[in-house]
Amino acid sequence: MPGIRAFAHALPKVELHVHLVGSASLPTVLELARRRPSAGVPTDARELAEFFTFRDFAHFLTGYLAVTSLVRDRHDIHTLVAGLAADLAAQNCRYAEVTVTPYNHLLDGMPGDELLSGLETGRARAAELGVELAWCFDIPGEKGAKAGQETLVFALRERPEGLVSFGLGGPELGVGRARFEPFFTRAREAGLHSVPHAGETTGPATIWSALHDLGAERIGHGTSCAGDPALLEHLAAHRIPLEVCPTSNVRTGQVPSIAAHPVRRMLDHGVVVTLNTDDPPMFGATLTGEYVAVAEALGLSALELVRLAENAVDASFLDERRKALLRSEITQITLPDPGNFA
């Protein structure tokens, strides 16, 4: 497809599903690993690449938590945020809502003020690069109600600048969404938006639970919705966006390939799909690359890529003025004639 990468790069983009620790570039992870070799993360580039070759979702989580253990102070947090911002700026991404898991960092011994300071200075650096960052504080679901309570307390007590949403991550199997209902109810009452993961590694019932029990306004992943026509209809009718991460789903073994990903079925049913990277260096993904991959594998036109970019703007928690500015930028992009890459 001639010109597809250049077109995808030129699109002003929004990222709605990226984890801060998972955004660490390979050089950053190597630097941290060499500083703290006892964490067990490889200090050799080739070995680290093998370390990031995941057998399944459980194996991925093991690697993810090992990298999390490398992050100990405000300087590490700043390095992660600034690195992510530089990567996003290089891809013409204007705005991102970044998932941070405070409980894991606090559990590893990082003082709360260190975490907040690193987020604040990193966010300021991002602004200098032309990228606006917002935060989602999420619960590591496998750690249970204690993690839910402490994440909620930390979020509402500290309420850092840019905090817009409350999430739920980690494994889904055996970690029912409904058990976190009290924490999401209080977060929503305090003005935070509900954006739990659901349907990444389990079936449609998890997505229904996220909607009914957690008041989800967006769904993280939602991959399995394609197996339930009633759910597809519900998501489309109520304009509930999905934060779809195709390469992530392939790399963790949830789908065999981009071509087999249900994103085409979602779009055909009128679901609001947004494209995202999840944990980009760990999966060898980029935001521009996600647009290219789905266009090539699923035969999307340039106009469909534009609509995906617009979906991300519309699904974001930006105010209407800033959404309008981004939409205006997107509409100024010149489409290939006749709007495809053939």
pTM of the model: 0.94
Backbone angles phi, psi at 242, to 5 degrees: -110, 135
Q: What is the DSSP letter of 217?
A: S
pLDDT digits (tens, 9 = 90+) for 111-152: 999 999 999 999 999 999 999 999 999 999 999 999 999 999
Q: Which pLDDT score is estimated for 1?
A: 46
pLDDT digits (tens, 9 = 90+) for 181-206: 999 999 999 999 999 999 999 999 99
Contact call for residues 275 and 290 (beta carbons, < 8 A): yes
- List b or e across 205-222, with b for residues whose CB sees 16 or more CB atoms inside 10 angstroms: ebbbbbbebbebbbbbbb
Q: What is the DSSP letter of 173?
A: T
Residue for token pair 């205006």: 328
Taking the C-alpha atoms of residue 209 and residue 337, their distance in angstroms, rounded to an integer, is 44
Q: Per-residue confidence at 335, pLDDT binned at 50, 70, 90?
A: confident
Q: How many CA atoms lie within 13 A of 311 on its CB side?
A: 23
Contact call for residues 333 and 10 (beta carbons, < 8 A): yes
Contact call for residues 219 and 198 (beta carbons, < 8 A): yes
Cis peptide before 241 (omega within 30 of 0): no
Q: Per-residue confidence at 342, pLDDT binned at 50, 70, 90?
A: low
Q: Is the pLDDT of residue 337 over 80?
A: no
* Domain locations along the chain: 4-316
Contact call for residues 166 and 195 (beta carbons, < 8 A): yes
**Which residue type occupies 242?**
L
Question: Please, what is the average pLDDT of the chain?
Answer: 94
Residue 165: its H or E element: strand 163-169
Q: Which pLDDT score is estimated for 94?
A: 97
Question: In the CATH scheme, what is the homologous superfamily, with its name and number, of domain 4-316?
Answer: Metal-dependent hydrolases (3.20.20.140)
Q: Which pLDDT score is estimated for 28?
A: 87
pLDDT digits (tens, 9 = 90+) for 96-114: 999 999 999 999 899 999 9
181-189 and 144-158 helices, crossing angle to 10°? 10
Q: Which residues contact 318 (CB under 8 A, 6 or more apart)?
A: 95, 326
Q: Which pLDDT score is estimated for 339?
A: 65
324 in helix, strand or coil? helix
Among 199, 229, 238, 198, which residue's Cα sits nearest to residue 214? 198
Q: Which residues are marked as active site?
A: 200
Backbone angles phi, psi at 250, to 5 degrees: -70, -45
Tell me whether residue 236 is exposed, middle or buried, using C-beta atoms within 10 angstroms of its C-beta: 0 to 12, 13 to 18, 19 or more: middle
Ramachandran category for residue 148: left, alpha or beta (phi over 0 → left; psi -120 to 50 → alpha): alpha
Q: How far is CA 148 from CA 40, 71, 311, 327, in A?
A: 28, 21, 30, 36
pLDDT digits (tens, 9 = 90+) for 33-80: 998 888 889 999 999 888 888 888 888 888 888 888 899 999 999 999
Among 110, 87, 89, which residue's Cα sits nearest to residue 100? 110
Q: What is the DSSP letter of 100?
A: E
Q: Which residues contact 159 (CB under 8 A, 6 or more apart)?
A: none
